[in-house]
Amino acid sequence: MEVNKDAKQELRKNILAVRRSMSKEAVAAGSSRLAEHIRTWPVYQAAKNIMLYLAMPDEPHLDKVISHALAAGKTLCVPFMHATRGLMDAAVIKNLDDLVVGQFNLLTPNPATLKLLEPRELDLIIVPGVAFDKAGRRLGMGAGYYDRFLPKATKAELIGAAWAAQILEKVPTDEHDRPVNYLVTEEGIFTRR
């Protein structure tokens, strides 16, 4: 059954307004706390092949997780969005110099030096979202990139990363939406209920 698209759009608009109202200082402080929760989490520590997102200005930033993962010798991937809307791959990066400014003025893997990892090789994926609920259901930006990618990552643990204000009682989802197993905010890591 398809969820009411208007309800999703309205919720998306409201939550993004909250996220976009955060100061740069609040984003930086919250991102540091969130990164520390991830770095000390046993699931992250045990993971060898990790995928995380490159943050928009008002999302939790994962730069400190990137630096830590690279220093720890983990294989680190970030999304590489294809020209075809909704399609992405896991692109391996060795350092932040592997990134260039791309679509929407966001950092992206350099297409000239692209090295991909099969989704089924990933142990852990840190998933962004507009909103999550306590059952791990996710509301994304609406383009379907993660909806198409996550089913291919068959062995990966999924952790949704968001601000505490983005965790709701219930988010509208469709049958194809795959829930995350854990949530991380600036307040800590939680197992879905």
Residue-range domains of the chain with CATH? 5-191 (3.40.50.10420)
Task: Give residue 186's identity as a one-letter amino acid code.
Answer: E
Token readout for 129 is: 């979202």
Work out the mean pLDDT of the chain and round it to a whole number.
Answer: 92
Residue with tokens 């306590």: 134
Per-residue pLDDT for 1 more than 50? Answer: no
Per-residue pLDDT for 2 more than 70? Answer: no
Per-residue pLDDT for 103 more than 90? Answer: no
Quote the pLDDT of residue 20: 92
Give the pLDDT mean for 26-31: 96
Per-residue pLDDT for 42 more than 60? Answer: yes
Quote the pLDDT of residue 28: 96
Per-residue pLDDT for 10 more than 50? Answer: yes
Give the pLDDT mean for 92-117: 87
**Number of neighbours of residue 78 by Cβ within 10 angstroms:** 22
Q: Provide CB contacts within 8 A for 119, sequence distance 6+.
A: 89, 90, 149, 152, 153, 154, 156
124-180, pLDDT tens digit by residue?
A: 999 999 999 999 999 988 888 999 999 999 999 999 999 999 999 999 887 777 899
53-69, pLDDT tens digit by residue?
A: 999 899 999 999 999 99
